Amino acid sequence: MLWTIVLVLLVLWLLGFVVYPVGGLIHILLVVALVVVIVRLLQGQKIA
């Protein structure tokens, strides 16, 4: 589930550069998702 969210945010982030200047929201959400993934990896939890 978390990987799906990261993938969707990454695609929206890339589309923000190409199609429409979405603003900072997509970039902030992408950074938050990446931080969550890194923290969970460092804690040794399995990511779904």
Which residue did the predictor score with more confidence, 47 or 18?
18
With a cut of 80, say whether residue 41 has pLDDT above it: yes
pTM over cut 0.95:
no
For the chain, give the mean pLDDT: 74
> Average pLDDT for residues 15-29, to the nearest whole number?
69
- Confidence band of 43 (pLDDT split at 50, 70, 90): confident
Nearest-10 Cα torsion for 26, 28, 33, 35: 160
With a cut of 70, say whether residue 20 has pLDDT above it: no
Q: Find all residues with CB under 8 Å of 33, minimum gap 6, and list them.
A: 2, 5, 6, 9
- Report the distance separating Cα 37 and Cα 26, nearest Å: 17
Domains of the chain, residue spans = 2-43
With a cut of 70, say whether residue 47 has pLDDT above it: no
